[in-house]
Amino acid sequence: MTKPKVFVSRIIPAAGLDQVKAHCEVDLWTERMPPPYEVLTERVRGVDGLLCLLTDRIDPALMDAAGPQLKVISQMAVGYDNIHIPAAAERGIPVGHTPGVLTEATADLTFALLLAAARRIVEGVNYIKAGKWETWEPETLLGADLAGAKLGIIGYGRIGRAVAKRASGFDMNLIAYDPTISAEDAARLGITLVELDTLLAESDFVTVHTPLTAETRHLINHDTLHKMKRSAILINTARGPIVDPGALYDALKAGTIAYAALDVTEPEPIAADHPLLSLPNLTIVPHIGSASVRTRNQMAEIAAANLLAGLRGKPLPHQVPNR
Ligand code: DGY
């Protein structure tokens, strides 16, 4: 029996790749950088399945270039804002993603950034490297306390809730903004839901855990930054374009907010000479929220399982809703 043809747009952990290789004829993109859009469009011609990453733009033209035999698109990520979901739905192509397995790793990184920002860890490291550590000083590198501080969580889905669990352990007070959650669900989850303006005005720390949609693009902008406390610390481990980078630069430079720590940026990757990187009150790491060994292995396994299910015409174990 002939094996289905698939294109895999990067080398992924063997936990998933070996499964795909065992059941498919695989065209594997082996370079470090993602395939350029035009190359991707060529390579998907005639494939039955596509295993892709968040760095690939999967739009209607690419789906048409692949052809009507394309049975499944499987993304190794929970977020799928790079894929045109309505176009896939119109063409009857199920799209898979990898929710759940990266919740804890992403919440861990969020908390690592929150603690690093609160206690000025990166500034401290740079302080020593610059030869400035000459004595113990009563008022040098003073940061913010977590205990008793208010954490505002924008987006109270899986990752937002996992962050809340960690914050509770640090005796933080929690509020959340999430228009998709009902009052009954909030009561069941034990979270106080507030309007966005209230969250921005009251929170000592604001952390973003909402998907990137038309509604959330630049949700954190000049206006919303000016509604935050001057002492506030902003964390974003969701998607870069939720925060307007120009507005964030102005706010950090002017002291409108105290500090920001980001795992994601707009654009991504951010250039080493980007003005944001010149600011002392900002820490950026390179989109590593899910980058633990176990998590990436599980993501690869789920991406493979979604792909193979789609190729067999079966329901995907983790299918993106058709919206
Ligand atoms: C995702 O899965 O959407 C993360 O951004 C990368 O793991």
Name the residue of 58, 75, 76, 78 to mutate for ligand 1: max ligand atoms within 8 A of Cβ: 78
The number of the ligand 1 atom at minimal distance from the alpha carbon of 77 is: 2
User: How far apart are the CA of 290 and the centre of ligand 1, in A?
Assistant: 6
pLDDT tens per residue across span 19-42: 999 999 999 999 999 999 999 999
Mean pLDDT of the chain: 98
Q: What is the pLDDT of residues 219-266, one digit of tens each?
A: 999 999 999 999 999 999 999 999 999 999 999 999 999 999 999 999
Q: Identify whether the C-beta of residue 210 lies closer than 8 Å to the C-beta of residue 243.
A: no
Distance from first CA to last CA of the chain, Å, rounded?
A: 35
Residue 4 near ligand 1, beta carbon < 6 Å: no
User: Average pLDDT of 152-170?
Assistant: 98
Q: Which two tokens stand for residue 191?
A: 């979270």
pLDDT at 2: 95
| 312 CA → ligand 1 middle, Å | 26
Question: What is residue 322's predicted lDDT score, i.e. its pLDDT?
Answer: 83
Can you give the pLDDT at residue 242? 98
Tell me yes or no: is domain 103-284 CATH 3.30.70.270: no
**pLDDT mean over 272-284:** 98
CATH T-level topology, domain 5-99+294-311? Rossmann fold (3.40.50)
What is residue 286's DSSP assignment?
-
Mean pLDDT of 133-153: 98
* pLDDT for residue 135: 98
Catalytic positions = 239, 268, 287
Please name the residue whose Cα sits nearest to atom 4 of ligand 1: 77
What is the rounded (10 degree) CA torsion for 222, 223, 228, 231? 30
Ligand 1 centre to CA of 262 (Å) is 14
Candidates 103, 106, 239: which one to mutate for ligand 1, based on the most atoms within 8 Å of Cβ?
106
Range list for CATH 3.40.50.720 in the chain? 5-99+294-311, 103-284
* Ligand 1 midpoint to CA 119 (Å): 26
- Max intra-chain CA distance, the chain: 74
Sign of CA dihedral 195, 196, 200, 204: positive
SS3 72: strand
As to burial, measured by CB atoms within 10 angstroms (0-12 exposed, 13-18 middle, 19+ buried), residue 129 is exposed
What would the mean pLDDT of 155-166 be, rounded to a whole number?
Answer: 98
Residue 200 has pLDDT above 80, yes or no: yes
Is the C-beta atom of 290 inside 6 A of ligand 1?
yes
85 bridge partner residues: none
User: Residue of the nearest CA to atom 2 in ligand 1?
Assistant: 77
Q: What is the distance in A from the centroid of ligand 1 to the CA of 238?
A: 8
Residue 79 Cβ inside 6 Å of ligand 1? The answer reads yes
- pLDDT for the residue 1: 80
Q: Inform me whether the pLDDT recorded for 116 exceeds 90.
A: yes
- Indicate whether residue 77 lines ligand 1 (CB < 6 A): yes
* Ligand 1 atom index nearest CA of 76: 2
Tell me the mean pLDDT in the region 129-136.
98
What is the SS3 assignment for 112? Answer: helix
Buried b (16+ CB within 10 A) or exposed e, 225-245: beebbeebbbbbbbbbbbbbb
Q: Which pLDDT score, from 0 to 100, does residue 175 have? A: 98
Distance (Å) of CA 46 to CA 42, 60, 72, 321 = 9, 15, 12, 25
What does the pLDDT read at residue 58? 98
Q: Which of 40, 33, 36 is nearest to 63 (CA)?
A: 40
Taking residues 116-142, what's their average pLDDT? 98
Distance 141 CA to ligand 1 centre (A): 33
- For the chain, the 3-state helix, strand and coil shares in percent, each to the nearest 5, are 40, 15, 45
CA-proximal residue: ligand 1, atom 3 (nearest): 79
- 291-321 pLDDT, tens digit per residue, is 999 999 999 999 999 999 999 999 999 999 9
